[in-house]
Amino acid sequence: MTTFLPDEPASPTRRVAALAERLLTPHGIDRYLELVDPMLVRNEIRGEVKRVRRQTADTVTLTLWTSKAWQGFRAGQYVRVSVDIDGVRRTRCYSPANSQHAAGRTLELTVKVDPKGLVSRYLYENAHAGMVLGISNPGGEFLLDERRPERLLFISGGSGVTPVLSMLRTLSHEGYPGDVVFLHYANTADDVLYRSDLAALADELPGGRVALGYTHADSGADLHGFFTPEHLDEVAPWWRDAQTYLCGPPGLMDSVRDAYTEAE
């Protein structure tokens, strides 16, 4: 006999679904539901592409609507995205860029093409509205403290912007009143992701500032060249006292870490 927990009302739909789940073992109901419509799955998570944007020449931004099992994420986490390519299921990690407080079951992912890579290139070339991707539960410990600090500094480079943007959007949703500086590096102006969103966030956050650094252009940015500790002195003189979040290519990560070790 099927039993239900007291706080889960045994609606006729739930009873039928639970019974079907048992009868359909070992494959489970999701194997059959996805033959009808992949978004009907109950226990696994799928994301249907609703919108495709190409913000820069080598990235694609996907807005997904997730299936019912999705329970949200915390800013800074990642999800594993699965896609079938030539009959083989491939899985890669991507960090949602939207706020953790965003309404509904929306997920925004920005994928930077690795020219020699498989999944990023496939998504860049083939993603279209209606495409359905496998999505995992979120994971990762790159998270904002539950108790928001008074000063925050975010540093990112390239596609490392995604988890950091999610944090900034989350703070904006929460009306974060503290000082927050976001220092983002890109090759040139053409490579800056989310440019207008970043400008809007700088306005929305009362103590907010966004500074751009171009590593391969001599003008047009707040800072030029690769990261140096002087960049921090310029955009966030209080950086030694701030809680700092860093996400980017290994060279950037190493030089920022060196600056902090030096400052200790």
Ligand X SMILES: Cc1cc2nc3c(=O)[nH]c(=O)nc-3n(C[C@H](O)[C@H](O)[C@H](O)COP(=O)(O)OP(=O)(O)OC[C@H]3O[C@@H](n4cnc5c(N)ncnc54)[C@H](O)[C@@H]3O)c2cc1C
Residues that bind ligand X (CB under 6 A): 78, 92-95, 110-112, 114, 116-121, 140, 159, 162
The two counts, helices (H) then strands (E), for the chain are 7, 11
Nearer to ligand X, 190 or 230 (CB): 190
Are residues 109 and 96 in contact, defined by beta-carbon separation less than 8 angstroms?
yes
Q: How far is Cα 100 from Cα 1, in angstroms, rounded to an integer?
A: 39
Q: Quick one: which of 253, 180, 167, 252 has its CA closest to 210?
A: 180
CB of 16 to ligand X, least distance (A): 39
Residue facing ligand X at closest CB distance: 117
CB of 10 to ligand X, least distance (A): 39
Nearer to ligand X, 119 or 198 (CB): 119
Place of tokens 């990560």: 253
Nearer to ligand X, 139 or 206 (CB): 139
Nearer to ligand X, 30 or 163 (CB): 163
Q: How far is Cα 64 from Cα 127, in angstroms, rounded to an integer?
A: 11
- For residue 18, what are the contacts with CB-CB under 8 A and spacing of at least 6? 2, 4
Nearer to ligand X, 66 or 120 (CB): 120
CB of 192 to ligand X, least distance (A): 15
CB of 1 to ligand X, least distance (A): 44
Q: Quick one: which of 48, 63, 65 has its CA closest to 130?
A: 48
For CA atoms 133, 136, 141, 144, the dihedral sign is positive
Nearer to ligand X, 27 or 116 (CB): 116
CB of 99 to ligand X, least distance (A): 15
3-state helix, strand, coil in the chain (%, to 5): 35, 30, 40
CB of 6 to ligand X, least distance (A): 39
